[in-house]
Chains A and B, each alone.
Chain A
Amino acid sequence: MKLDIEGLTVEYGQVAAVHGLNLTVGHGELVALVGPSGCGKTTTLGFITGFIRPKAGRVLFDGVDVTALAPQRRGIGYVFQDYAIYPHMTVRENIRFPLDAAKKERKQAERDVDEIAGLMGVGNLLARRPHQLSGGQRQRVALARALVKKPVILLLDEPLSNLDAHLRVEVRAEIRRLQLDLKMTTVFVTHDQSEAMAIADRVAVMSDGNIVALTAPATLYTRPPSLFSARFIGSPQINIWATDGPDEALARRVIQPLVRDGGAGLLVGVRPEDVEIGTGELEAVVTLTEPLGRDFLVHLTVGPSSIRVLVPAEEGQHLKLDDNVRMRIEPSRLHLFDAATGRRVEIDAAGARRLDESAQGDGGLAS
């Protein structure tokens, strides 16, 4: 089932929650909607389910306009952030509810429940009541209930956010495996960029009610199409310096090999792991080191500018406060953005600027 959202605009009172959003999710594809809270992710899901009435826009399932269809007739599977399991029913009754609603024959329904419960690993919990389950078990029951009717589209609203950290990674992998097995068209909402990167075929980065980047996880990381997505994706966060302002000296120096025009009106970004220390012409001073396990996050200053660098632990542990170090940034590792629009800027072989056509702007520094 292919899902299309066309020109979605939703307003709450005078405030636009989503404006003019377009999104296509192919058959069997998993798209993650990621963005800070209030960016319109859940509103977009609410529109797909039919609970939220838009000011404008259409939603199509396999090309058929279902915008006017009631939620109960859309055949969607949905996992709520807080699971929304029916507290007065047993696990079996919970999972069977969608089949009862569809007036499925009881014997067949029970067989379907047993099958999906086994698949989700809750086959031994069918007689229990929700209050007797752990968070992880409730999550699986919610997933089983969403999947038992073989939904045309699966929507997951922050399904992992109420789980412990170690469970989160485990369940994430299970959801992905299941989704690939069943070839289920899926929209996965999360505010966690690493979760989105790990699970999705494509990641849609949302900001202020619109999608500002929509691309494969790897591309999003290596070639972020906008300043907002460059900042949102990746941890520790990317270093950004403007060629005009307090960071001018450092910014202009690192882009010197790339541009001929001096680089006015640009934002220069480099990810913490793309900075080499120990060699190079830039001199920096250590202001803080944070051990992160495999790596150290080292905070440096170059003149008035600060920079975060990720270095392997065996190097990081020798660095002390106020040490002077040499560092170097490979020009091909730089990300350039237009300071006014936030759009990615590419530099061609002749050293001329070219705006990245695939990217949408998101307001530059102001955002």
Chain B
Amino acid sequence: MELVRLSGLQRLARAAAVGLALAFAVLPLLWVVSIAVRPGTQAVYPISILPTSLTLDNITGVLFASNGIGLGPYRNAAFYGLSSAVITAVASTLGGYALARYSMRSGEALLIVILALSFLPSASRIVPLFILTSATGLYGTAQAVILAYAAGSIPLGIWLMAGTFRQIPVRLEQAARIDGAGTVLTMRRVVLPLAIPGILVVATLAFIDGWNSFSLPLILIPKAAAQPYTVALQRYIQEIGYGINWPLLSAGSLVALLPVLSVFAILQRRLVRVGGLGGAIRG
């Protein structure tokens, strides 16, 4: 949809701006890919932009070799991320519905506070979380990380779900009541199906947040076997004396990208359609 007609020069300028932004975002990724698929001998100075030969050794090395991090850290990250996504989805749906539907004098102010909370950098929560988990005996457990992830994702989740529910006309709920449906049936058959795009967005964001999280698990999980891949990959930087193991680090990062990319590929259309309520109300 072209809202404004652009002259030839303006088009050129636009293309250049888009190209620059794209390069900024994509080039580092391509660089990671380029390093990840070349033999280790080509990852030392002087370094070529394109690999002269391709290999999957780095990737299999990260996942299966004795100096690799194995599948475990990815499994851990997936478990923490998915658990946080489920908790976030449930809590955000309940909280968002309450804020959207029940008139509270402080409702709007509460929403602003909640949104502000979601902008807090996760680093600012580390020390309080460390003290909190130590005091409650949760330190080092999966529950500690999952709850910490979810606590970080729920504010934005509630905000997004409140917006989703506000787009669903109250009339539809009243219609369901008049049609004889109680609270549970109204929710299950009318409200939740219409909120699914929003719930998917919230769960996806929470999963990606958890999957990518580094500083929280670094502090909260001392045991190597329970650490996610983000912390495990750090070993390739830390092992001083051998230098940074760029090929394995890149291969490990590449593997970590795959779930995120596939989630977007699968949900793309539903994510964009958030709030597709065509036909509920006239017009």
Q: Check B178–A129 contact: CB distance below 8 A.
A: no
Tell yes or no: A87 within 8 A of B by CB: yes
Tell yes or no: B179 within 8 A of A by CB: yes
The proximity string for A residues 146-157 relative to B, scoring 1 for CB distances below 8 Å and 0 otherwise, is 000100000000
- A149 / chain B contacts, CB cutoff of 8 Å: 179-180
Tell yes or no: A234 within 8 A of B by CB: no
In the complex formed, the residue of A with least CB distance to B183 is: A72
- Chain A nearest CB from B145 CB (Å) reads 36
Tell yes or no: B90 within 8 A of A by CB: no
In the complex formed, the residue of B with least CB distance to A96 is: B179
The proximity string for B residues 93-123 relative to A, scoring 1 for CB distances below 8 Å and 0 otherwise, is 0000000000000000000000000000000
Task: Tell me which of B180, B194, B280, B282 has the highest count of chain A C-beta atoms within 10 A of its own C-beta.
Answer: B180
Interface range on chain A (Cβ under 8 Å from partner): 20 to 34
Tell yes or no: A97 within 8 A of B by CB: yes
In the complex formed, the residue of A with least CB distance to B169 is: A84
- B179 / chain A contacts, CB cutoff of 8 Å: 72, 97-98, 101, 145, 149
Q: Check B282–A83 contact: CB distance below 8 A.
A: yes
In the complex, what distance in Å separates the CA atom of A141 from the CA atom of B255? 52
Q: Check A101–B172 contact: CB distance below 8 A.
A: no
Q: Check A82–B171 contact: CB distance below 8 A.
A: yes
Q: Check A86–B171 contact: CB distance below 8 A.
A: no
Give the residue of A80, A100, A102, A131 whose beta carbon is less than 8 angstroms from that of B175. A80
Tell yes or no: A76 within 8 A of B by CB: yes
Q: Check A78–B282 contact: CB distance below 8 A.
A: no
The stretch among B44-52, B185-193, B219-227 that forms the contact with chain A is B185-193
- B193 / chain A contacts, CB cutoff of 8 Å: 88
Tell yes or no: A26 within 8 A of B by CB: no
A86-B190, A101-B180, A149-B180 known; A129-B171 Cβ under 8 A: no
A84-B169, A86-B172, A87-B194 known; A72-B282 Cβ under 8 A: no
Give the residue of A75, A80, A129 whose beta carbon is less than 8 angstroms from that of B279. A129
In the complex formed, the residue of B with least CB distance to A46 is: B174
Q: Within residues 169 to 223 of chain B, which ones have a CB less than 8 A from any CB in chain A?
A: 169, 171-172, 174-182, 185, 189-190, 193-194
The proximity string for A residues 68-101 relative to B, scoring 1 for CB distances below 8 Å and 0 otherwise, is 0011111111101011111110000000011011
Give the residue of B185, B190, B279 whose beta carbon is less than 8 angstroms from that of A133. B279
A101-B180, A149-B180 known; A86-B175 Cβ under 8 A: yes
Give the residue of B178, B189, B280 whose beta carbon is less than 8 angstroms from that of A72. B178
In the complex, what distance in Å separates the CA atom of A357 from the CA atom of B105? 48
Q: Check A135–B279 contact: CB distance below 8 A.
A: no
In the complex, what distance in Å separates the CA atom of A56 from the CA atom of B235? 73
Tell yes or no: B137 within 8 A of A by CB: no
Q: Check B278–A98 contact: CB distance below 8 A.
A: no
Tell yes or no: A130 within 8 A of B by CB: yes
Q: Check A72–B172 contact: CB distance below 8 A.
A: no
In the complex, what distance in Å separates the CA atom of A319 from the CA atom of B264? 75
In the complex, what distance in Å separates the CA atom of A101 from the CA atom of B181? 5
- B185 / chain A contacts, CB cutoff of 8 Å: 101
Q: Check A78–B278 contact: CB distance below 8 A.
A: no
Tell yes or no: B18 within 8 A of A by CB: no
Q: Check B280–A97 contact: CB distance below 8 A.
A: no
In the complex formed, the residue of B with least CB distance to A49 is: B178
Q: Check A87–B178 contact: CB distance below 8 A.
A: no
The proximity string for A residues 327-361 relative to B, scoring 1 for CB distances below 8 Å and 0 otherwise, is 00000000000000000000000000000000000
Q: Check A72–B279 contact: CB distance below 8 A.
A: no
A86-B190, A88-B193 known; A130-B178 Cβ under 8 A: no
A80-B171, A84-B169, A84-B175 known; A130-B280 Cβ under 8 A: yes
- B277 / chain A contacts, CB cutoff of 8 Å: 87
In the complex formed, the residue of B with least CB distance to A133 is: B279
- A51 / chain B contacts, CB cutoff of 8 Å: 174, 177
Tell yes or no: B27 within 8 A of A by CB: no
In the complex, what distance in Å separates the CA atom of A308 from the CA atom of B126? 81
- Chain A nearest CB from B278 CB (Å) reads 4
Tell yes or no: A162 within 8 A of B by CB: yes
In the complex, what distance in Å separates the CA atom of A238 from the CA atom of B216? 78
Q: Check A78–B175 contact: CB distance below 8 A.
A: yes
In the complex, what distance in Å separates the CA atom of A74 from the CA atom of B79? 47
Q: Check B282–A82 contact: CB distance below 8 A.
A: yes
Tell yes or no: A138 within 8 A of B by CB: yes
Give the top 5 A-B pairs by smallest Cβ distance, nearest first: A130-B279, A131-B279, A101-B180, A131-B278, A87-B280
Beyond the given pairs A97-B176, A133-B279, 11 more chain A to chain B contacts, judged by CB atoms under 8 angstroms and listed by A's residue number, are A72-B180, A72-B181, A75-B180, A76-B178, A77-B178, A78-B178, A84-B171, A84-B175, A87-B172, A88-B193, A135-B282
22 pairs, CB–CB < 8 Å, chain A vs chain B = A71-B178, A72-B177, A74-B178, A75-B180, A77-B178, A80-B175, A82-B281, A84-B169, A84-B281, A86-B190, A86-B280, A87-B279, A87-B280, A97-B189, A101-B181, A102-B180, A129-B279, A130-B279, A131-B278, A131-B279, A133-B279, A149-B179
